[in-house]
Every structure is written in structure tokens, then in C-alpha cells.
Structure 1
Amino acid sequence: MLMHHNIPFIPPACERGEQYSAEEARSREAGDVQIRGGNMELTRRNFLRFGAAGAAVAGVSALAGCSPKAEAPAESTTDSAATGDDWLGSAPELTVDDCTQTVETEVLVVGSALAGSMAAYGALKNGAKVTVIERNCCPHIGGMTISVFNSKMQKDAGLPMYDEVEIANKMYKNCQYRGDMTLYSAWINRSGEIFDQLKEDFIDPYEQYCVPASLEGIFPDPTQEVSEYISTGIAFDKTDILTEFTHKFHQFLEDQGVETHYDTCAEVLIKDDSGRVTGLIATNKDGEKVHYVASKGVVMCTGSFGSNEKMMYRFYPSKYAKWALENNSYWAYMGEDPVSVLECDDGLGHRMLCWAGAEMEDICGWAAWQSTGWRSFPYLMVNTKGKRFMNECTSLLTSSHIIADQPGGVNYLWQIIPSNDFEMPSSFGYTKEAAEEMFKMSEAEHYEADTLEELAEMIDVPAENLVATVERYNEMCNEGHDLDYHKALRYLDAIDDPPYQAWKMQYFFYCTLSGVRCNDKLQVLDAEHEPIPGLYAGGNTVGYRFGSGYESLLHGGSNGLAATHGYIAGESAALGI
């Protein structure tokens, strides 16, 4: 089955927050979630009352409610001068003498998300006895799509088979020449083969939803677009919460003999006298210290450090670090699983690796996402000052730093939309009808008024700025040339048909995409770029995969790299590489 242009980035269906009347909106300060004032009759000119996350904090609170054990992180307690210089800290003073249990295995995988699952699979396929430890009570994976290069399934569906050199070079350039080309090559060289094997072993026998996602042809003229995509995505679910896929994958692994120890938190890696990593010490749910002995190696797949304040200030500009900590939505993909997200996002795995001699990437990437509003429909967007500030076609996954840099430090903008019959195309390929069904657009916070001045009052932006912005925008639309941000002609729609609408669009930080230096076998390297024997990594624990932020060329790119690198890490450990 070939799916055309209808695989969006889908957030959880629990983004319901406060409802405001127009009168209430007039009385609140920009970005303030404390609403004052009374109600008024809701007419066509007034606020179209639908649920939405209110301002930055309200949006975060609404998302936190999606997961039974999820807790929203407290606002940063560190002032703007924070540097995070002491981010690493010291390894806990634990020895095997502190342990009451010993577990012996050949390959120990730390973390049960996508990279960890694939690491266990890679080690299993290469004959190793495998044990997985996970600090939560269940696994979790976010993102419905995994990027795969030239698999048999994609070829059979009639999708293009891409040139290896072309795609490797595009990835390198789109990541600001900061990535490690050998890591891209590992994905290019192995992902298709690994996926075809996984499909035969697990996906088909366990009846998993799986379709190639085509993004071919969504741009009539790709040279006029900000973003570019290639059809490398395989969709594994119809939502961005891969609960069934995740749990079935672990069922498959356990059916094949993999042991999984949940509620078990790794604390410190152990080396022998030669410097080889031989295992680690972990704490189980009863508070007991467990010595895990891994005769062939340890694979660290421990994810993001997005809730670690010191690490965020160390590896990101302070202004963005503060914004990201206040708008961290890492828990958004946990679904109904009782996952303690603030713990699994704390960077402990990165620090364990560095305590063992690894070297962190100095320029770190991040992923973000967008909630509410007409996502990927590039209507005119304005900030809290009523001014335009970006090309509206910029990818939602890559633009949170632009939002964070706007006045007020809020996490939202306003889309200004006229009432006309112009069919605004999506910059990601789906229809407005599909967007309404999937994103529940009508439930997003939006306002309507007969004049721009009235609309400005409703959304609390300076009326003179909004009017001037719209006049300038209309002039360029009518001339068919966006001189300010060079948005493609096919998206230019003058705001000249009242009543006018304003839709709130919120942005959130999701996770970090950076970590320690590894080679193409996913061996962890020390400061001299030499492998640390017995130590491997996968997923968001691996550094040098992205530049300063997520790169959207690959559909499901982060998951694609995580899956392939995780498999190779497990394979390398099993083979003693």
C-alpha cells in the first residue's frame, strides 16, 4: 500500500486547555494565563469558543496531563547567567561490594526505547544472550515514522530508489556540516537491509501496521520551498504514540529470549584494569544495588537530557535553554503508559558515559514540535507585538529557536487568516479536511472580528503594528513577490476579506539530539577518538548526528538513525567489534 502525502506530524490528542471569551482575552496580559473579566455573548465577531492550551504554562500543564505519572518540570531556578559548567558532576562512589545481586549476560542494553529495542534485536540476531534494563516500568517510543533507505518494501511500492552520494551530501549540508558523515553512511548502507529483516522477523508475524509514506510531489516547484523531503519514511502507526508497536516489539524480543528488567536504573559503568567496560551497577525498584556483568559489552541508549537544567545551560545558548526548560514537552508521547518522564530525560546516561571516558558533542541539536493552529498551512504569522518575523513555511520541527527569540519569551504566535475562498496549500502535503480530522483544528483557540483593530484587541497585540504588518503583507501578496521573507508565490494570500481570524499556534521543545562521539560501529570513543572497549551507544545518546537542530530532509530521520545505529551497536557488541 502506497500512502501519498498524508503522514503528518501528529501530537497527542490531549491538548485541551482553557477556553477564553473575547472580553476575557481583552483583559489579560500577553502570555498571562490568569484570565480576568466576565463573559459576553459569543457571536461571529467574538471569540470562537473552542478548547486550547492557553499561554505557555497552560499549554505545558495540559500536555502533562496526558501521562498518568508525567510531571511538568518546574520553571528554571537558574538565572540567565547560568553556564552549566558543573554539569558533569562526579560518578557515584559505588562498587560491586555494594551490590546484593549479580546478573550475568553477554550484551547489556540500557534503555528500552527505539534505539535500545533495536540494539537488543541486533545483538540477538548475532547470537548473543541479551538483557535490557529500563528505569521505567514500561518502554516508550515517540514518532510514527522511521526513516529507511531503499528497502524492498519501498521499492515494491514504487517509491524512488535514492542515490547514496546525493543523500549523504544533502544530510551533511542540511546539518550545517556539523554531522559525522560515517554515521549517515551507516544508515544509508544498512537501514534498508535491517528493516527488511525486521519486517520478516517481527512486523509481519506480529501483524504490525506498516506502510511506506510517500512525500513525492508535494512541492510543484521544490526550488521555491524552505524545506525539502525525500520519501524514506515508513509509518508504523496512525498516531505519534507508538504504544502498540513498542509493546509488541518487546513481546517479540522476550519471546526470542531477551530478558527485560524494568524499574531498574543504571548508576555507573564498571571497567576492569585494562580499561574495558565489563558491566554496570544499577538500582532496582526495591532500592537494591545490582551488579550487571556483560561479557561482550554494554550498549547505552538512554535518550535525551532535556530536563537536566545544568546540561541544557551548558550545551545550548542560555536564552534558548531557559525557554526550552519552561516549554519542555518530552512527556507528550508517553500516551497512557505510566512513564516517569522527568527521570528518563535527565541525561544520566550521557554523564555515565563521560565518567567512563567518553567525550560529549559540544554543539548540540534539538527537536521541537508545534501544537494547535493550522500547522504546515503557512498563513501570515505574527508575534506578540503584531509583527511578522519569519518565512511561514519553515518546518515546525526546526523553528522553535525562532519562537524562543521573540519578545516576551512566550511559546506561541498568531496566524492571521482572512475569510476568503483561497485554498491555502499545506507545506507538508495534507488537506485541510485531513488536518481538521487528525488535529481537531476546530478545537484550537481562535478569534474572529470584522476589523483588524478589533482582532488585535482580542489577541492583545498593538493594533497599529498588526495593521501595518497586514498592509505590508497585502502589498507583497498583490504584487506576487514576498520581498521580506521570500515565501513561495503559491502561499501568498492577502488578508483583505473580513471577518478576520487569529489562531494561536504553540511551539514546544521536545528533546535533545546530541551525545557522545561514536564511530561507524557505534563504539563509544574517548577524547583521543579511540574506542572504549566494551562500550557502545545508540539513539539520542549518540552525538554528531545533527547540527544545531533537527533536520527534516528524512521523514522520520531521528528515529531512522536511532533504529539503524541501535541495531549496529548491538551487533558490534555481540560480535566483539
Structure 2
Amino acid sequence: MQWMRKAISISAITLAVAMTAPAFAADYTADVVVIGAGASGSAAALASQQSGAKTILLEKTPFQMGAGSFAGGMFAADSSQQKAAGKTVDKKWLFNQYLSLSGGFQNSLLVRRIIDESGKTVDWLNANGCRMTLVDAGTGGAYAHIGMPATLHGYQDGGAKALVALKDSFLKAGGQALFSTRATELIKDAKGNVTGVRIIGKDGKPGKVTAKAVVIASGGFGGNKDMLERYIGVPYTMGEVTQNTGDGIQMAWKAGAGKRGENVAQYFWETFSQEEMGKITKQVGDDWFALTDFTRYPNLRVNTNGRRFSNETDATLYSVHGAEIAMQPHQTEFVIVDSGMLDKVKAKGFAAIEEQYANWKGDKRQYFQEFNEPNDTDELSKAENTPKDVAAFLDKLVGNTATVYKANSIPELARAIGVDEKNFAASVEQYNKAYHDGKDPLFFADGKRLIPVEKGPFYAVRFTSRLLGTLGGIRVDDRLRAVTSDATPINGLWAVGADAGGMYGKAYVDFEGGTLGFAYTSGRLAGEDAAHYAKTH
């Protein structure tokens, strides 16, 4: 779980590129222009340039960021690494993951194309300096994924460096990148073909890029409060990447593109409010991350009404449980911890509850980077087998935050966290009975894995939902071409990554690397197609 510790880290080389960029010129000409320099945009620009099209890459911030810069890796079905390891993934299994989780609300032709092309994308990324290595499912902290097919190709140097590597490959191939340059409007000719984009440089100077094809890769609208309220609904959580404000989506809509997937939110894991983070770090500094240990174990969860609402043994299905929290009142859950659990952890570490990294000891070590920090199963196994006085840590936060609460009885804890006492008592009773009976008639949890709430003092840790971003907006076909509401392609316009709608239903898939896999693969394919279009029109 080290991958969750920090926010995005920006390498010095990235900033240096932005600082040494050429002076802004009012007008540019290219075959293809790509809007957004995240994972999907960087892939699109590089693929386009390598396909023989003169390509310009636009980015409104001074450097490359986006969700791809802090992700852990991408999925594939049949990369060279999977073939060599004898771990190719059944494409029917992958397709059914999308189908079942979308309930049929997906562009099946697009889904199948992305699955079929995913392995080629991993090989292509590795050939262009973005080092990725196949790792087993569950090694990133998703304990519930253990035993699933190995889909994840994890960043070996972190996402930030991977994006820089792709940008460097793009520049070496003859491409041009304009940072601190905002795209404001698509340009269309009299026939309705997209022929470029209007831009504003960092000095506020307007200009334009005339091109035969445009690829939109602006990362969704997780940082746009108005769009979140309108399309995701109230309450909502702000996305992790606040510069993703839906610019490209709105430009495409204005140019006639249809809407698709504008209501898809990528809830994942859980977090604390900014206000609470300030209080927590004031008391314990960087040790605040120890609180997230409680997200990994099947402790009782209740909402702000004091009611149990989920199968706690599936808590490390992070996308699913993140969505469950988002569905609760105030998008909040309380994790309930009793002193019996804390006594075991103090004596033998969290492995006394569940040993989650035992499969990868010794020569089975797995390694990748997420959030640009190491995810090393050797270190994670060592940590879970190290005794910890967690109660002493929690006590530092009791009374100083609205995150950690302590009480000697269940009624007292209910009053402390402000939930209905009867509801809470009933939830504790039902949960404990499920533990003792070994089965859960309410949410069908494996009762033997539940952690009883019986020995005081008792603690509660408050968490809120965490939104990585949005996953859709622009209707596309299986070629990633932007299309109108009646599915007519808009000549010269493509949309990829988090701007493209149709890969998901209400939520995204719960196997590892799904989102980044779509970002990179959609970017590569659209870049190639846009280049071909530009050279033939």
C-alpha cells in the first residue's frame, strides 16, 4: 500500500522541459494536433509522429501530469511478457468483466478492440522508454484480487518518468510540444470537418494550430465543480487531478459530438478531507498513512446512520468499495476497530489478522511503482509482520481530529461519532453474529474472516469517498472517432482516454490496470488513425 502514500511527484527534468520551451508563436501548422499531454495524449502524439504525420502536442499546464503520472500500470491480455511467462489472459474473461460491470451499457466493438490491442501497446511502450513489467494480481494491496489473472504491467520507474520518456521519444521523432498552451475551440471548415484548434499561450496571446486532424485527450472533468454537480450529481467528490476541467469534452460537444459516459465516475479506495488531513498531519506528521491500514481488513463498516452497508471482506476491491462509500449519506464510512484486534497487531503485526503478501516471499518478489513510489512485496511483507502499537498511535488523534474516535462501550461510541444508537447496536450485533456463525445472511460475507467488535475500548476511523476522476463524455466509435448523437463520424476529430465515452457503464472495471490500459491503447490507436487520415486527406 506504499503506492497510496503521496500525491503526484513531478520530476525535475519535466519542469526543465517546460522552462526551456521555445517562444510562443501565434500560428502553427501540423498534420495532427493532440490536446493534452497525459498518458493518452502522449501516446497519441508519439504514435502519430511515428506514423509519419507532423504532430503538435498541446498541454495547458507547464508540465506533464494527469492520472497516468501516478497510476501503477496498465492491463493487457497478450503482451510479450505475458506470453513468455505463460500468463496470457483469456480475452473472453476480460470482455465479460466489462460486460458484467457495465450491464451492457458499453460500446462492445470498442471494448473488444482495446482488449485485442492492449498487448501490442505494452510492447510499444516498452520499446519507447516506458518500462513496464508484468506483476501478479493482488500485489498492489488489492487482497481480494489474489488469484485473478495477471493483467497488470507495472511501471518500473513510476508514471511521471514514463510520461517524460514518451515525450522525449516524441520530440526525438520530430514532434513539437507546446506547454502552458490552452486549447479553447475547435476549428471547422464549411463542410463541418475539424481543421485545427484555437489556442492561448502562457502570456495570454491567442493563436491557432491548423491541422488536418485533432485528438482530444484532456483527461475528463474531475476538477470541474459545475460539471461534476450536473453530470455526476450531488454529493460528489472532487477528482484527484484538479487541472482536468473538461475543456476538451466541452469543445467536442460544441463542435457537434454526442454525449456518452458523461456520468461515469472513477471512485477508488477512500480518503480524508483536506481539512482533516491538516489536523491529522499536525498531530502525527507523515505517520498519518498508518490510518489507511484499516482500509485493508474486514472490520465492520457503518455509514453516518449507523448502519452496516457492505460485505467487508471485499473492502480491497477498491473500485467497488469506493463506489459503495460514494453511495452512502455524506459519502462517508466509519471503520470500527476493537481492542482485541489491536492487541494481536501489537504482538505480531497485521499479519496476525490476515497475511496478505505471503504468496510473494523470497524469489517470488514483485515490484512496481505507483504514485511514483515503490510497491515492493518484500517490504510490504516485512511491514505486515512487524508488531505495531496502533492503539497508542490512534490515541494521539482522538479528540484532536474528526477522524478518530474512542469509547469504552458501543453506545458511547455511537454518541461519539454521531450515529443512531439503535442502528449502530443492531449493526454490531448482526456483524458479530455473522462472525460467530461463520456466515453472513445480510451481505454474504465470509463470516470466518470478519473481525469481531467485542473488546473495549473501541475505536472508529472516519473515511470519505475518493474520486480519481471521470471516465467519459464524448461519444466515439470503435475507431475512437468522435461521432454525433446519431453516430455519424465528425471528420478529423478523435477522442481518447478519460474524454472518450463507451468503455464503461456506471463504473469502471475491477481488474488491475484497466483505466491506464484504455488510456494508452486508445491514445496509440487514435494517433495512428489520425495520422493516416491526415496523410490521405
With the shorter chain as reference, the TM-score category is: 0.7 to 0.9
Return the match for 2:217 from 280, 283, 301: 301
Give the match for residue 259 of structure 1: 176
Answer yes or no: is the 8 Å Cα contact 2:482–2:495 preserved in 1: yes
- Partner Cα separation in structure 2 for residue 157 and residue 363 of structure 1: 38
CA deviations on 1:463-484 (whole Å, 9 max, x unpaired) are 4443332122111211111011
Q: CA deviation at 1:13?
A: 2.6
**Gapped runs of 5+ residues in structure 1?**
1-7, 15-62, 68-98, 332-340
SS of the residue 1:322 aligns to: coil
Q: CA deviation at 1:278?
A: 1.0
- Partner Cα separation in structure 1 for residue 480 and residue 163 of structure 2: 23
- Partner Cα separation in structure 1 for residue 382 and residue 472 of structure 2: 37
SS of the residue 2:186 aligns to: strand
Give the match for residue 322 of structure 1: 234
- Partner Cα separation in structure 1 for residue 206 and residue 169 of structure 2: 28
- Partner Cα separation in structure 2 for residue 436 and residue 267 of structure 1: 53
Inter-CA distance 506–425: structure 2 relative to 1 (3 Å threshold): farther
Counterpart mapping for 1:301-380 below 5 A: 301-316=217-232, 321-324=233-236, 327-331=237-241, 341=242, 344-361=243-260, 364-369=263-268, 370-371=270-271, 372-373=291-292, 374-380=294-300
Inter-CA distance 189–575: structure 2 relative to 1 (3 Å threshold): same
Answer yes or no: is the 8 Å Cα contact 1:300–1:349 preserved in 2: yes
Answer yes or no: is the 8 Å Cα contact 1:133–1:265 preserved in 2: yes
Q: CA deviation at 1:410?
A: 4.9
- Partner Cα separation in structure 1 for residue 106 and residue 384 of structure 2: 33
- Aligned pairs, how many? 455
Q: CA deviation at 1:270?
A: 0.9
Return the match for 1:149 from 77, 80, 87: 77
- Partner Cα separation in structure 2 for residue 427 and residue 357 of structure 1: 50
Answer yes or no: is the 8 Å Cα contact 2:301–2:333 preserved in 1: no
Answer yes or no: is the 8 Å Cα contact 1:213–1:235 preserved in 2: yes
Counterpart mapping for 1:236-315 below 5 A: 236-237=155-156, 242-295=159-212, 297-315=213-231
- Partner Cα separation in structure 1 for residue 443 and residue 157 of structure 2: 34
Answer yes or no: is the 8 Å Cα contact 1:144–1:238 preserved in 2: no
Give the match for residue 40 of structure 2: 115
- Partner Cα separation in structure 1 for residue 45 and residue 186 of structure 2: 19
* Deviating more after overlay: 565-574 vs 389-398: 389-398
Return the match for 2:353 from 423, 427, 431: 423
- Partner Cα separation in structure 2 for residue 542 and residue 496 of structure 1: 49
SS of the residue 2:308 aligns to: coil
SS of the residue 1:346 aligns to: coil
Inter-CA distance 250–534: structure 2 relative to 1 (3 Å threshold): same
Answer yes or no: is the 8 Å Cα contact 2:331–2:465 preserved in 1: no
Give the match for residue 57 of structure 2: 132
Question: Which structure is higher in helix share?
Answer: 2
Answer yes or no: is the 8 Å Cα contact 1:380–1:415 preserved in 2: yes
Answer yes or no: is the 8 Å Cα contact 1:111–1:133 preserved in 2: yes
Amino acid at match of 1:346: T
Amino acid at match of 1:322: V
Return the match for 1:389 from 309, 312, 336: 309
Amino acid at match of 1:398: V
- Partner Cα separation in structure 2 for residue 233 and residue 410 of structure 1: 29
- Partner Cα separation in structure 2 for residue 328 and residue 455 of structure 1: 30
Q: CA deviation at 1:425?
A: 5.8
Answer yes or no: is the 8 Å Cα contact 1:112–1:301 preserved in 2: yes
SS of the residue 2:428 aligns to: helix
Inter-CA distance 574–100: structure 2 relative to 1 (3 Å threshold): closer
Q: CA deviation at 1:139?
A: 0.7
Answer yes or no: is the 8 Å Cα contact 1:315–1:362 preserved in 2: no
Q: CA deviation at 1:545?
A: 1.0
- Partner Cα separation in structure 1 for residue 138 and residue 325 of structure 2: 29
1:568 aligns to 2:525 (yes or no): yes
Q: CA deviation at 1:426?
A: 5.5
Amino acid at match of 2:113: A
Counterpart mapping for 1:506-521 below 5 A: 506-521=464-479
Amino acid at match of 2:256: G
- Partner Cα separation in structure 1 for residue 223 and residue 139 of structure 2: 39
Return the match for 2:102 from 167, 175, 185: 175
Inter-CA distance 269–436: structure 2 relative to 1 (3 Å threshold): farther
Answer yes or no: is the 8 Å Cα contact 2:98–2:111 preserved in 1: yes
CA deviations on 1:308-340 (whole Å, 9 max, x unpaired) are 344334323xxxx2221xx31423xxxxxxxxx
Counterpart mapping for 1:207-246 below 5 A: 208=131, 210-215=132-137, 229-237=148-156, 242-246=159-163
SS of the residue 1:516 aligns to: strand
Q: CA deviation at 1:504?
A: 2.8
Amino acid at match of 2:235: W
Give the match for residue 487 of structure 1: 445
Give the match for residue 459 of structure 2: 501
Inter-CA distance 453–405: structure 2 relative to 1 (3 Å threshold): same
- Partner Cα separation in structure 2 for residue 215 and residue 455 of structure 1: 37
Answer yes or no: is the 8 Å Cα contact 2:138–2:146 preserved in 1: no
Answer yes or no: is the 8 Å Cα contact 1:473–1:494 preserved in 2: yes
Inter-CA distance 108–353: structure 2 relative to 1 (3 Å threshold): same
Q: CA deviation at 1:485?
A: 0.7
Q: CA deviation at 1:226?
A: 10
Tell me how large the CA RMSD over aligned residues is: 3.3
CA deviations on 1:365-411 (whole Å, 9 max, x unpaired) are 1112312532232211112233212222153323445334434x253
Inter-CA distance 227–402: structure 2 relative to 1 (3 Å threshold): farther
**Gapped runs of 5+ residues in structure 2?**
11-23, 272-290, 345-351, 360-376, 398-402
Answer yes or no: is the 8 Å Cα contact 2:262–2:473 preserved in 1: no
Q: TM-score, normalised by structure 1?
A: 0.71
- Partner Cα separation in structure 2 for residue 487 and residue 367 of structure 1: 24
